[in-house]
C-alpha cells in the first residue's frame, strides 16, 4: 500500500446511515491535511487476501475487491463497484464525487458506476485471484435498512450527478482525534 494516510469517519448519532456521504467527507477532510492525488475508498469490513492487490490509482478508476467470499469469490455483476475502489483526484472530481442522497443500505455503488460510465471512464480491475477479499461477518446495523428509493435514484444518476455530490456536501465535524496510525473524525451528516 505504501506510506499514506488513513482516515476513519464515524457518523455521529443514531440517524440513518449514509456511506456515500461519509466517503465524500473523508475525501474533503483528508485534503485539509495534504494535497493527495489518489484516494482509496474501502468498506471497513473487508480484508484483502493478496498483497499483490496494490491500493493505488490507475489511469482509470479501479475496483479492487473483485472477488469477495460473500459472493463466492466472484464478481456479482459486471457493473459492481462496491467494497474497495480507488480514484485519482481528477477522476473523483470529474464525477462530482459520491452522491449524498443515499440514506440506508444500497445503491450508492451502482450510482458511482453510472457516474463513471457517463463520463466515459471504464473500470479497471485486478484478476479475481489478486482481488480476493474476506468480509468480517456482522449483523446489519439497525440504522442501515435497505433504501427503498435506491432503484429510482440509480435510474436517474445522469440527471442528478451534477447537483448531488462533492459540490453539495454539507456536514458538521463533531470531533477530530489524531491517533498514531489514523485520524478518527466524528461527523454529523444531517438527516434524510
Determine whether 45 is an active site residue: yes
By residue count, the chain amounts to 192
CA pair distance 55, 41, nearest whole angstrom: 10
87 is catalytic: no
109 catalytic residue (yes or no): yes
The x, y and z cell numbers of residue 48, run together, are 484483502
| CA–CA dist 70, 23 (Å, integer) | 22
**Annotated catalytic residue within 52, 74, 140, 158:** 140
Under 8 Å between Cβ of 30 and 60: no
Candidate list 7, 69, 121, 135, residue with the active-site label: 135
- Active-site position among 7, 12, 69, 105: 105
To the query of whether residue 138 is one of the catalytic residues in this protein, the response is: yes
Quote the DSSP letter at residue 83. S
CA 88 to chain CA centroid, Å, is 13
Q: Which of 62, 103, 108, 111 is catalytic?
A: 108
Sole residue written with cell 467527507: 25
Report which of 85, 10, 6, 3 is spatially closest to residue 42, judged by C-alpha positions. Answer: 85
Given the residues 35, 138, 139, 180, the one annotated as active site:
138
**Is 150 designated active site?**
no
**103 classed as catalytic:** no
Per annotation, catalytic residue among 7, 12, 15, 43: 43
Beta strands in the chain (DSSP E): 7-11, 38-42, 46-48, 62-63, 67-68, 84-88, 132-135, 172-178, 183-188
Identified catalytic residue from 45, 50, 152, 177:
45
**Active site amino acids:** 43, 45, 105, 108-109, 135, 138, 140
Amino acid at each position: 500500500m505504501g506510506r499514506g494516510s488513513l482516515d476513519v469517519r464515524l457518523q455521529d448519532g443514531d440517524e440513518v446511515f449514509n456511506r456515500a456521504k461519509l466517503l465524500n467527507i473523508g475525501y474533503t477532510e483528508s485534503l485539509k491535511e495534504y494535497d493527495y492525488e489518489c484516494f482509496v475508498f474501502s468498506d471497513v469490513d473487508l480484508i484483502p487476501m493478496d498483497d499483490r492487490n496494490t491500493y493505488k490509482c490507475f489511469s482509470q478508476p479501479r475496483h479492487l475487491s473483485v472477488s469477495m467470499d460473500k459472493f463466492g469469490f466472484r464478481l456479482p455483476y459486471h457493473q459492481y463497484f462496491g467494497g474497495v475502489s480507488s480514484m485519482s483526484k481528477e477522476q473523483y472530481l470529474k464525477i462530482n464525487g459520491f452522491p449524498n442522497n443515499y440514506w440506508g443500505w444500497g445503491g450508492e455503488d451502482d450510482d458511482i458506476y453510472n457516474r463513471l460510465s457517463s463520463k466515459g471512464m471504464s473500470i479497471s480491475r485486478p484478476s479475481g485471484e489478486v482481488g480476493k477479499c474476506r468480509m468480517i461477518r456482522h449483523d446489519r446495523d439497525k440504522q442501515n435498512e435497505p433504501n427503498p428509493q435506491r432503484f429510482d435514484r440509480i435510474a436517474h444518476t445522469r440527471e442528478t450527478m451534477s447537483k448531488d455530490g462533492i459540490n453539495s456536501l454539507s456536514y458538521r465535524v463533531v470531533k477530530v482525534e489524531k491517533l498514531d496510525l489514523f485520524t478518527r473524525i466524528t461527523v454529523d451528516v444531517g438527516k434524510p
